[in-house]
Structure 1
Amino acid sequence: MTKVPFSLTYIQYDKEDGIVGWVMALVSLTPVFFVCILCSSILLHRDMHSVFFLIQMILCTIFNQILKHLIKQPRPLTGGVQQTYGMPSDHSQFMSCFCIYFTLWLCNKWVLFSFKQSE
């Protein structure tokens, strides 16, 4: 039986980087934290924005996996154990998707707030 690492949270950093390396390793887990917070928000508040946002994140991740298998660019040779392709970056695509959705949501809230102020 072949064992493979659970790659969702497999993070490596150089001990020589000290606290900076540790903080950057923690920051790279931001997408996992966002999903946990989003699921908690859905369970507590039951608002449709959170549900649509979670669906968008899931679709974004699926689209990323499809692109990885189409492009098939190998990861840089850093001695890592991950066997997946490196490009496009799932972290970058996930955070870009989050930033675009959040920016559009804020613009929508700001426009509604501005409209109410002008009345």
Structure 2
Amino acid sequence: MPSFQTEDIPHGFAFDEAGKIIHPRYVRVIVTPPPEGPTFGWKRFYLSFGASFGDAKVRVGLYKGGTWTTQILDVTNSGGKVGLTIETGTEKVSVGRMKTSANDRDDDIPLSWLLESQA
């Protein structure tokens, strides 16, 4: 059965323009259920982001098989939602605002994530 969860990404930059952590309190960690088992099994997760009143950059960390990989997404006010498919076996996802440049001060643009699952 499809399901979803959504939440705002907090105001404040979690990462600088190079992707280095500024402060972890601005990062949100999303934990995914295990892919095996009759109750918790799932086929796919889709993670999307949307922004309003400005453009934002989001750093997404994916933890699978003991390794973190990262993706950088540009989320715009004038565009639709931006997202990715989370592979089966991914255990957790971290998301946080990232500066677009050293002079970026727009850390309060409304920005949310949406996690949709398909079992």
TM over 0.5: no
What is the TM-score of this pair, normalised by structure 2?
0.18
Which structure has more helix as a fraction of its residues? Answer: 1
Which structure has more strand as a fraction of its residues? Answer: 2
What is the TM-score of this pair, normalised by structure 1?
0.18
Highest RCO, 1 vs 2 (Cα 8 Å, sep ≥ 6): 2
Whichever of the two has the greater Rg, that structure is 1
